[in-house]
Amino acid sequence: MAGKITNFFRELQLIFSLILTILGFIVLFIGAAGIWYQDFCINTLNFSSDFLNWSLYLLIIGFIVFISGVYYLYTFFKNRKFILDEIKTNKRSELLKKHAELKNTARHMPSKYQKMLKDKEEELKIK
């Protein structure tokens, strides 16, 4: 069961990290606005004062969620760039140098990148 859930999240890693980043930014904005611009939030956005009492907690939670989303987004694009740059090579020796790192990185990416690496291994006759 855990493998199915992990594979599901791995396939949609980009979407979930984008959602996490956007959601974190919104909560961070609401928390910051609730702390520094309480009159604006009460009059214009029609937030209740009970809701604004939680602004500090929203700010902290929003910051944590936003940083987590940005981190996952950054690691996705960094790993994607690494895999695509290494797969472009047509030299077997260059691919063999980083083969273990490539396999480990591809294991944490969607199946599309695992298939690309497998195709390149077959093309260059690497086990």
Beta carbons of 51 and 84 less than 8 angstroms apart: no
pLDDT at 43: 75
CA distances from 99 to 3, 70, 84, 87, 111 (A): 24, 28, 13, 10, 17
Contacts of 10 (CB under 8 A, 6+ apart): 108, 109, 110, 111
Contacts of 94 (CB under 8 A, 6+ apart): 86
pLDDT over threshold 90, residue 19 = yes
pLDDT over threshold 80, residue 102 = yes
Q: Convert the pLDDT of each residue in 50-70 to its tens digit.
A: 777 888 898 999 999 999 999
Pick from 14-18, 87-91, 98-102 the range whose average pLDDT is largest.
14-18
Beta carbons of 95 and 86 less than 8 angstroms apart: yes
pLDDT over threshold 70, residue 35 = yes
pLDDT at 39: 77
Q: What percent of the chain has pLDDT over 90?
A: 29
pLDDT at 2: 60
